[in-house]
Amino acid sequence: MDDKYAQEEPRFLSFPHLPEDASRDGKPALNKYSTTLTKGHDFPGAQAMLYAAGVPDKQTMETAPHIGIASVWWEGNPCNMHLLDLGREVKKAIVNQGMLGWQYNTIGVSDAITMGGEGMRFSLQTREIIADSIETVTCAQFHDACITIPGCDKNMPGCVMAMARHNRPSLMIYGGSIDKGYSTLLRKPINVATCYEAFGAYTYDTLKQPQDGGDTSKNKDEIMDDIVRHACPGAGACGGMYTANTMASAIETMGLTLPGSSSTPATSPAKMRECMKAADTIRLCMERNIKPLQLLTRRSFENAMVITMALGGSTNAVLHFLAMAVTAHVDLTLDDFQRVSNKIPFIADLHPSGKYYMADLYEVGGVPAVQKLLIAAGLLDGDIPTVTGRTLAENVASFPSLQQDQVIIRPLSNPIKGTGHIQILKGNLAPMGAVAKITGKEGLSFTGKAMVFNKEHELNTALNESRIPRGENLVLVVRYEGPKGGPGMPEQLKASAAIMGAKLTNIALITDGRYSGASHGFIVGHICPEAAVGGPIAIVRDGDIITISAETNELSLNITDEKIQERLTVWTPPRRPATRGVLGKYTYLVGDASHGAVTDLF
């Protein structure tokens, strides 16, 4: 890269010839961007193509605003397979408003389908591709506004990052959560995470039916088949407070969606009504010039962290909030997460560590009811602006409060844990930080002997062969799975869930990769610096003593700094796992996990 460019301040492409107060007849011009192509004769080819695409007449060509409707639709994943239909409802409402709606979609990767395999390496980088593609279409096609419709984990932050880049009136519609599955053999609600935990029980031969009556004659293969067949009953994102629902709840609490979007089920009539309301809201955003960077503020990120701690959200939220903040030019660090965690109680009995699902929360008031509770307690900023033109507090004022007899959200006076479950750890094993998910159910500290695996598949093989012993405390170390080393920082739900299913309570897991939002147990991820760039995790050896403490926020290796440096001097970097193709490009561009693992910091 030429030095004269490298020294310039980072910025996104702007359109300096378009005045911020563009107006027509004293009213704001809603087609401020598209008019570049559609008025006059400067771009006759563009107009010809737009007529062919569906613009009906000259008046519409010259006056109607162009709204991009970006769904992360594809058929191979229940989280995303219904988003095209949601987009059609949005377009219908847009057209009824006298505007032009242009549907398009971006790519996606199913975390649940790729989990534990090489395909998972492609998952995190889809966040960047989604952001790139929405920014590209919005700016190249001169869209005046943008409505995004995501469904799976990386979709939501990718959409928000795109909104921040093009900074045109925008809102997000969350695709919604899946209905609960049900196993007739286990006699309880299940979801996709149940499949991974059942696999651990299957491997360690502890997978059995309940013993409190009924037919218990089924063997473990029949039980596994029943779980797999009934875990995912239809469209919608994974049903617990996993990453998709975590990000949707946070983004709603930042003011970027219509109220209730994050907890409205995917297949409910209410979700279709939300799609219809989006047309009114995006018009209002254009009329009042409400843009993403006005909403993506320090205050709104604070709200995102608060709701995440209260609901017991995914550790992936840390990675994605940091990435969104970088894109929106908001100063956010790992220390902010710890500060918020120290003051916000964990109150939601939701999967993966709890009993209930997002569908259950919807029935007792949904995320707006939780927001009302937190606003009333002074823990959530109700005065932030939102896409509706009202404040967050005004948005939820008409929603019912939490039902008095509900048991999903605990009273603030009697939380599950007095402080947040996400802990930021530092120490000689993670000088730049690590992210732990510690609900307190497994205790607040853990010390054990290291058992080292250089890739996730090595640990999976050991679990498949029942080589992880019970008894002595062990810290399983999975390294070379960070943003560069993975590449792609793969989630490791297969291993963490298998350990929970096998009831290996003597185990803690640490990695420079990530854990799925469905993971629980004593787990630490995002260790930074990662092993591939010479972080201390690269020199851990079998038998080393490792301490994980949520009390002192420490992740430490019980050897001296001198010994660590001695080992590092003889360490050699591994061969890069990918040098060509999309992962090769990603490996070259991606930054570290403690700054969001973004690709535009060069």
The string of pLDDT tens digits covering residues 509-522 is 999 999 876 566 68
Cα 596 to its chain centre, rounded Å, is 12
532 vs 596: CA distance, rounded Å: 17
Contacts of 212 (CB under 8 A, 6+ apart): none
Counts for the chain of helices (H) and strands (E), in that order: 23, 16
Averaged pLDDT, 416-442? 91
> For residues 450 and 477, is the Cβ–Cβ distance under 8 A?
yes
- Residue ranges of domains in the chain, CATH in brackets: 65-178+238-396 (no CATH), 181-230 (no CATH), 422-595 (3.50.30.80)
Cα 87 to its chain centre, rounded Å, is 21
> For residues 260 and 361, is the Cβ–Cβ distance under 8 A?
no
Residues in the chain: 602
Nearest to 158 by CA among 65, 94, 72: 72
Instruction: Tell me the three state secondary structure of residue 327.
Output: helix
Q: What is the pLDDT of residue 47?
A: 97
Per-residue pLDDT for 3 more than 50? no
Tokens of 447: 């010390």
Q: What is the pLDDT of residue 546?
A: 97
Number of C-beta neighbours around residue 390 at 10 A: 15
563 vs 271: CA distance, rounded Å: 58
Q: Is the dihedral of CA 501, 503, 504, 510 positive or negative?
A: positive
198 vs 348: CA distance, rounded Å: 24
Sheet holding 100-105, edge to edge: 100-105, 66-71, 145-149, 170-172
Per-residue pLDDT for 14 more than 80? no
pLDDT band at 4 (very low <50, low <70, confident <90, very high): very low
Nearest to 236 by CA among 79, 67, 45: 79
Tokens of 276: 């219809």
To the query of whether residue 496 is one of the catalytic residues in this protein, the response is no
User: Kind of pairing, strands 474-478 and 507-511?
Assistant: parallel
What single letter denotes the amino acid at residue 122?
A: F
Residues 148-191 pLDDT 10s: 999 999 999 999 999 999 999 999 999 999 999 999 999 999 99
394 vs 389: CA distance, rounded Å: 10
Which of 15-24, 346-355, 586-595 is the least confident region?
A: 15-24
The residue annotated as part of the active site, out of 110, 516, 549, 556, is 516
Residues 298-307 pLDDT 10s: 999 999 999 9
